[in-house]
Amino acid sequence: MSEFFHQYFDFNYMGEHFWEVLEAFLQNVLIFTVVAVLALIWGLVLALLRQLPGKKFLPIRFLTIAYIDLFRAIPILIVILLISGGVPFLEFIPKEIRIPHWLGKPDPFWYGVVALMLVYGAFTAEVYRAGIEGVPGGQMEAARSLGMSHWQAMRNVVVPQAVTLIPAPMLNELISLLKDSTLVSVIAFGESVLISRELLAQSFNSSALTLTAIFFILIILPMARIVDKLIARNQGRIARGSHMEVA
């Protein structure tokens, strides 16, 4: 038992390596931030493409659905390995893009960002879609009957209402994203899990992993509480009988 505590809860050890692990954890936060912005935009694009009406947009709807299904089905770890292992071989792409070193970040950072963006774009698209489809169909019909185009109705009537339904599930996706940023360790990017395992290899002590877990808890718990608040707020709305209230 004391061996267990020494192995995982050596507070002196955590203190000694605090800044090193924190710095590595900030790399996770950085991956998270960049991917969150990109995936929220990319997911919205996908969701809107999926809602395009009529026969002539059928191929676009089909491709969008295929993309979303595909990237929801493939394990993220495999996407990361395929991107980092495959893209550098595509010699028709210029080397600066194939093996990117943008903004002083090494290529595994960018492979991780792209892989997570591709996957989380598909996940966030589904959250947007749930929000859009959560708005009763009569809203779109009423707007169209007033002479609005599909896009005008989307922008002025449907999306403003959908927006209130989206934040809670979206924040859940973002919590997952933050945790999944540790998967980039598999392609040798120096984020918190990789650095913790480095320390483990040097010292045979796992406390750095525990410290990393603590950092994640400290950041994710407040996010989880916000999700609770948002859900409670939405339920409050429904309870008052005003089902859809534009915020």
Partner 1 sequence: MKSKSPLTALLAALAALGVAIFAAGCGGGNDETSGGGGGGEVLTVGSDIPYPPFEQGKPGNYTGFDIELMEAIAEKIGRTAEFQDTSFETIFRDVAQGKFDAVISAATITEEREKAVDFSNPYYLSEQAVLVKEGGSIESLEELDGKTVGVQQGTTGQELAKEKLPNSEIRPFPEGPDAVNALKAGTVEGVVIDAPVAANAVEKSGGVEIAEKVPTEEEYGIAVAQGETELLDEINQGLKEVEDDGTYKTIYEKWFKLAPPQAIFSASHAAE
Residue ranges in contact with partner 1 by CB under 8 A? 3, 7, 84-85, 88-89, 99, 106-108, 185-188, 194, 197-198, 200-201, 204, 206
Q: Are 121 and 37 in contact (CB under 8 A)?
A: no
Please say which residue, 75 or 236, places its beta carbon nearer to partner 1. Answer: 75
The encoded tokens of residue 72 equal: 């929801």
Please say which residue, 206 or 212, places its beta carbon nearer to partner 1. Answer: 206
What's the full length of the chain, in residues? 247
Please say which residue, 125 or 183, places its beta carbon nearer to partner 1. Answer: 183
The nearest distance, CB 194 to partner 1, in angstroms, is 7
Q: Are 124 and 43 in contact (CB under 8 A)?
A: yes
The nearest distance, CB 136 to partner 1, in angstroms, is 24
The nearest distance, CB 6 to partner 1, in angstroms, is 11
Q: Are 112 and 82 in contact (CB under 8 A)?
A: no
Count the alpha carbons within 13 Å of 208 in the hemisphere toward its beta carbon.
Answer: 25
Rounded to an integer, what distance in angstroms lies between the CA atom of residue 95 and that of residue 49? 31
The nearest distance, CB 208 to partner 1, in angstroms, is 11
The nearest distance, CB 187 to partner 1, in angstroms, is 8
Residue-wise DSSP of 187-200: GT--SHHHHHHHHH
Please say which residue, 171 or 211, places its beta carbon nearer to partner 1. Answer: 211
User: For residue 86, which phi and psi values (nearest 5 degrees)?
Assistant: -100, -45
Please say which residue, 139 or 205, places its beta carbon nearer to partner 1. Answer: 205
User: For residue 38, which phi and psi values (nearest 5 degrees)?
Assistant: -65, -45
